[in-house]
Structure formats: structure tokens, C-alpha cells
Chains A and B, each alone.
Chain A
Amino acid sequence: MSLWVDLYRPKTLDDLHYHEGLSNRLRSLAASGDFPHMLFYGPSGAGKKTRIACTLRELFGKGVEKLKIDQRVFMTPSRRKLDVNIVQSNFHIEITPSEVGIYDRVVIQEILKEIAQTQQVDISAKQRFKVVIINEADSLSRDAQAALRRTMEKYMSNMRIILCANSTSKLIAPIKSRCLLVRVAAPSEDEIVKVLQYVASKQPFRSIDQNVAREIAEDSNGNLRKAVLVFEALKMQTPDLSGPLTIAKPDWETYCQKVADMIIQEQSPQRVMEVRSKLYELLVHCIPPNVILKTIADHVVDKVDESLKADIIHWAAIYEVRLRNGNKKIFHLEAWVVKVMTLYKHFFFGIDMDGFD
């Protein structure tokens, strides 16, 4: 059985719940005939992918929903073989470049050339172009982005590109200037509540208590996917959704919270060692190191004096960049922990920290 998030995912632009102005705009673009290249951006869980799927549906009709997965082999310039799974319909093709790592340029080049050099076979197709969707476009390498530039102009007659990204900051200017930028903001709490009510109305129990819905919405931090998942999970735990509800945090988050507590409770070499083993634990569970850092920092600042908060964030920001570019993630996480402990201790012993950095 499908999850509610998938079951009640809107399929057409008319089904979309919020950002109505944006939906209208997409509808008119799809109808206009000169559909541009597009870049959808916004936080995760805001509904970018759903919106893209609805736009495709508007462009091509029901046929785009017939997907098939192809196993393809690409050859790198150094003659290495790459196996890539590609999702496509008769009208579009979808790629997630991060799956092929540093070889994203090769894959993109091949696919785009192939599409550019083929014509729509289906004569009844509503559009003469095919759409290439590039997911997680912010992780495209510089090389791959450069490869897109002129291609986007040259093959405009039978191809359109839709990029999907969390932020536009990592995309080079020449790409942005070739796309129509579409910002998809996270839904507001009211909007999330409405979606939850809609989901409830489709279920046998028909409705969800206003307060419960609001609580879930608040907890989701604008991530609609998370909100619907939590709703379904809660419903499984407490079928009548009454009494005090606790929205379970994911294990790793509780774990991060514990680490934050440990840092505040004691500042000693011994404690650093204990924290380190916890950090290792999180890392082996594949929690991204920058998420670990951010989450711990977020909890630490809640527990310290106002005058320390800014410094803690400052060092979190510094070490976050370092761990991204560095190789040994644990070094940087640990360095930050030690930094925070030092700040904290000095604060309590009233030692002047000026000139210490």
C-alpha cells in the first residue's frame, strides 16, 4: 500500500493546494507554446517536484505518467563504464546527476545530445520538444554546468530543460540567465493544515482535529512531505489522535540533542572523547556531517547564555565550510566541539577572551 504522501500527491496543476498564482502562471506557460527552460528552486519539501510533474502533465497529457526505467551504459573519456538508471516517458527523461558523481558531465552531454538529435516520434504529441529534468541541479559540477550552456540555446527547437534545486547560489550565471526562475516557497502553516485536512477527508475517519493539524504543521518547519509522513505515523500510533501527542523526533536528532547536552554538562578531555564516539556513531549511520553540526549547534545555543550564542554560531559556520572542503569530517566536528567547550568554560570563569583567537 502506498504512503499517503504518494497517494495524495497532486497530479495536475488544478490539484495543487497552495501557491495558486504560481500554478496559474505555469498553466499559461504550458499553453503558450514557447515554453522556456526553467529552474525551480526552494527548500526541500516545498513541493517543487510535484509542481514539475504537474507541469509536465499539463504540457503532454496523461502519457507522461507512463514511466519506464532504463539501464544505460555511458563511457567516460578514460574509457570507464558507468551504469546509470534513467527514468523516462515518451515525452521526458529524468536524471539525477549526483548519482554519477564526478562523471555528471559525460552523462549529461550524452543524454542531451541524444535528445537533441531525435525528433518526437509520436505525431499526436502535444509538443514538439522533449523535456529533460535535472534533479538536484545544485550539485552539478562546474564542468557539467558549462556543458549545458550553449546546448540550452542550440537545441531549443526540440528540447527543454527543467532544473530542480534547493538554491540558485551554486548555479553559474550563464545557466541562470537561460532559464525562467521559479521560486517555490515552503507552504505556510495554514497551508499545511489545509493539506492535512484534505488528506484526512480522503480517509475513512474524514477529519483531523484543528489543534493536532496545527501541531504537526508547526513541527514540520515548512516541509510538507514531513508533515504528511508524521500525520500518517501518528495515526498509526494513536488511531483516535486524542490526548497529548508526541511527535517522535528521528533517532539521529534525539542523538544530536544528547550530544549537545553532553557538551554543556562538562568540558574536559574525557568528555571530548565521549562526544567523539557519539559523533562517529552518527557518521556511520550516514547522517551528513554538516547536518550533524547544524543540529547540535541549534540545540547548544538554546541552552547557553545570550552572549555566547553568536560565537557558537560563528564557529559552526566556519567549521561547516571546512568540513565540506576537508577530507576528515570528524576532525572538524571535533574541533568545533572543543571550541564550544572552551568558549563555555571561559564564559563561566570570566576569563577575557579578547585576543585569544
Chain B
Amino acid sequence: MSFFQVQAPKKAVKHAYDPALQPWVEKYRPKTIEDVSSQEHTVAVLRRTLTSTNLPHMLFYGPPGTGKTSTILALARQLFGPDNFRSRVLELNASDERGISIVRDKVKNFARQTPRTQAVSSDGQTYPCPPYKIIILDEADSMTQDAQAALRRIMETYARITRFCLVCNYVTRIIDPLASRCSKFRFKPLDPSSTSSRLHHIASAENVHVSEEVISTLIKTSHGDLRRSITYLQSASHLGGSTKPPTPITPSDIQEIAGVVPDSVIKDFAATLGVDAVGDDMEIDSPSKKVTGFDSIRRKVKEIVREGYSGTQVLMQLHDFVIEHPTLSAHKKAQSALVFAEADKALCDGADEELWILEVGLRVHKAVS
């Protein structure tokens, strides 16, 4: 007996879902292109397509959480309305099988169908419903070169009745013949003021109190990725809301959720390596000036690893600490920078984190002493 009752795919996904329980990233996903913040240029161009019957093939690219998927979904919805959406829009993403055979079958089949005539919209609104269909290939950079090549012909042959929108993080992973057929739209990381106003908007809609400090920590930890900052905000609001009376969200809550290593840990590690923080009551030739050696560095590294901090995160923060250090000589910084670069590459190649944190520690120690 199967414990899962498999239903027809189309029916299943759509069912009532209490909006109060929705993750905020979904709940506050832009409904129209006007809701998309910070991407003024793109929105301005797309706004025009709403009134004309024409739409080029498009390529959206940019870092995660900048509104790419939201924008194309909103645009499609504004063009076709909820009733025609299914028959006019095909959305495929990296979780769908998109090998060359699927491109040849599924995509081609959809592309060649003549657009169905507009169904009467049930919500009483009128939609432009232009005479073409849209195929959204989200996360297109994970498609194989072969599959992309197969798209080329389809794009050309059915251009009259089908428009493509490719969405990706890295435009360089899209083969040239495809990219050159599209109008390109670059999505920028969200600037701090748009992020801030969006977060304020959500927080007040959800009745969560956030201080300016918290907002600025959110901005700092999410690097222009709005999805991330919204997720962090929601998680943090859980923590605060779980106690009675609710405790206010603090910047350090956000840091913990974001996986940021506390500054004190980094400072402590740096001190073990012989890089002292400047500014905290420093005494000239203070007796506490530790003589550090291999064993104390190794012990410190083991401690950090046991705390479970991510290796890349530790190295990134240590990097910033060393490189931005106010008094360290340029020569020492340069030598340290070399080590950080090597370590980053090694970790990308899957290297052992503990070994490389230790290696970086030892070499920075050597560079500064």
C-alpha cells in the first residue's frame, strides 16, 4: 500500500493555503511588476510591453534574490490573467528534467501550439492577452550546452507565437547564439535603501517591531539578496515571538541566523595569530602580549571547528579583519591576501576545512610576525 496518494499533478499543487502561514518570501512576492523594487530600468522597459502587443525574447540575469523569477511571473500574470496563465505560460526550472530530449519534446510541443483564444476572465478584469505564449526557462544556467543548442532552432522557428524568457545567475553560462537572440536585463543586487524600505513594509504588515540596527544588520548580512533578508527577518521574528512577553529582535539574532561568526570569535582567533584589534584599551608593551605558537593556533582552530562555524565564513571574516586592519603593514597584508586566495580556491575544490583554517592561521601568523 502506498502511503502517498498520487494525484494528477495539475490539480494537486493548487489548494487553499492559509496566507497567515505562508513564508513571507512568498507572501510578499511582487504581484505586479510595479511591486518590484530597485530594478527601475527593467520595470520601465517591461511596462511598455504591457501596452504593446510585442515582446522580445528575454534574458534575465543577476545574483539570487533580486527579483528575476518574481518579475517574469508577475509580467506573465499581468499579460494573461489567472485564467489563461496555464495555457499560455510554461515554466520549467532546474528541478524539471531539461535534457535535450525534453527540449525536443515538451518545449517544442508547447512552442508550436497556436495560442488558444482568450478565455473569459473570471475575475472581471481585462488582460491584454497578446497572441503569443511565454516559455520561462528559470535557472537556465544549469541546462546543458546541448539542450541550449537545441533551443536555438525552436526559438527561431516559432518566434511568431512563442517568446522565451531565460533566467539565470551567470550570463556567461548561456551559449552565445541563445544570448544574442534575447534582450538582456541585468538585475542588480538590491541597494540598501530599497532593501530597507521593503523590509520595513513587511515588518509593519506583520506587526513586528524592528529597530534600525536590526535592519542594517539584515542589509549587511544579505549582500543585496532580498530573499535572504526576508527569510532572516521571518526567522528572527519567530524567536522573539516565542517568549512571553515577546523579546525584541537583536542584531546578534540576525547574525546567528545568517551563519555569521560572532566578531569576538574572529578577534580572538586573530589575536592568537598575532593580529591584535586596535582600539580596545591597548596598552603599550602590555604583559598580556601572548607568545603564540603552533600549539595554541592548532588548539584555537579545533575550538572553532567544534563550534560548527562554516570554514568559508570564518576565512571570509578573518580576511576582512586582516585586510582592513588599520595598522598592519601593506606588505604583511599582501602576504596574507595570497593565503586567503589559495584557501578559497582549495575550499571550492572540496578541501578539508579544518586543515585549511589551520594552514591560513599558520601562514598569516608567519606573515605578521
Contacts and interface: CB of A to CB of B under 8 A. Distances in A.
Contact of A148 (B95, B362, B365): B95
Interface string A83-97: 000001010000000
Interface residues of A, number: 74
A151 B227 contact: no
Interface in A138-171: 142-143, 146-151, 153-158, 167-170
Interface stretch (B103-111, B175-183, B207-215, B344-352): B344-352
Contacts of A115: 4
Interface in A297-351: 297, 301, 306, 309-310, 313-314, 316-317, 320-321, 324-325
Contact of B312 (A146, A149, A169, A185): A169
A116 B311 CA distance: 33
The interface centre, meaning the residue of B101, B307, B310 with most chain A CB atoms within 10 A of its CB, is: B310
Contacts of B94: 146-147, 149-150
Contact of A25 (B142, B239, B298): B239
SS class, residues of chain B in contact with chain A: helix
A201 interface: no
B192 to A, nearest CB: 17
A156 B23 contact: yes
B358 interface: yes
Contacts of B362: 309-310, 313-314
A117 B350 contact: no
A24 interface: yes
B64 A174 contact: yes
B311 A169 contact: yes
Interface string B325-368: 00000000000000000000011011111111011001101100
Interface residues of B, number: 75
A221 B306 CA distance: 8
A150 B93 contact: yes
A109 B94 CA distance: 9
Contacts of B242: 24-25, 27-28, 31-32
B9 interface: yes
Contact of A177 (B3, B231, B293): B231
Interface of A: 24-25, 27-29, 31-34, 36, 41-43, 46, 77, 88, 90, 109, 112-119, 121, 142-143, 146-151, 153-158, 167-170, 173-174, 176-181, 183-186, 221-222, 290, 294, 297, 301, 306, 309-310, 313-314, 316-317, 320-321, 324-325
In the A-B complex, list the 10 residue pairs whose CB atoms are closest, starting with the nearest: A28-B242, A42-B308, A150-B93, A151-B95, A317-B359, A146-B142, A177-B228, A146-B94, A310-B362, A118-B4
